[in-house]
Structure 1
């Protein structure tokens, strides 16, 4: 089974959780080495700019999920 069988979700909250998963999977696929990601995590986990950028990526992914689920009816 694919890790991403669909962008469809039952609720907006599930959609937001999916947006987070999309964002995390992008990092994992970009840097597949667990040890490297673990070593880098403290650097960005304590950097306000990095956390803001991560939130921006999640927001962009949530827009994608929201559009797929027609959360906004005027689209």
Structure 2
């Protein structure tokens, strides 16, 4: 089974959770080595700029999910 069977979600909250998963999977696919990701985590987990960038990535992914689910109706 695919890790991403659909962008459709039941609620905006589950859509936001999907946006987080999309963001995390992008990191995992970019850096597939678990040990390397674990070592790098301390660098960005304590860096305000890195955390802000994470928020931006999640927000962009949420826009994609929201559009697919028509969360913003006319």
Bin for the TM-score computed over the shorter chain: over 0.9
Corresponding residue of 1:24: 24
Runs of at least 5 residues in structure 2 that lack an aligned partner in the other structure: none
Corresponding residue of 1:57: 57
Aligned partners of 2:25 and 2:18: how far apart in 1? Answer: 10
Superposed displacement of residue 29, structure 1: 0.1
Superposed displacement of residue 56, structure 1: 0.2
Corresponding residue of 2:35: 35
Task: Give the number of equivalent residue pairs.
Answer: 74
| 1:5-25: CA deviation from partner (whole Å, max 9, x where unpaired) | 000000000000000000000
Aligned partners of 1:13 and 1:37: how far apart in 2? Answer: 27
1:70 correspondence with 2:70 = yes
Normalized against structure 2, the TM-score is what? 0.99
Runs of at least 5 residues in structure 1 that lack an aligned partner in the other structure: none
Superposition RMSD on alpha carbons, in Å?
Answer: 0.3
Superposed displacement of residue 41, structure 1: 0.1
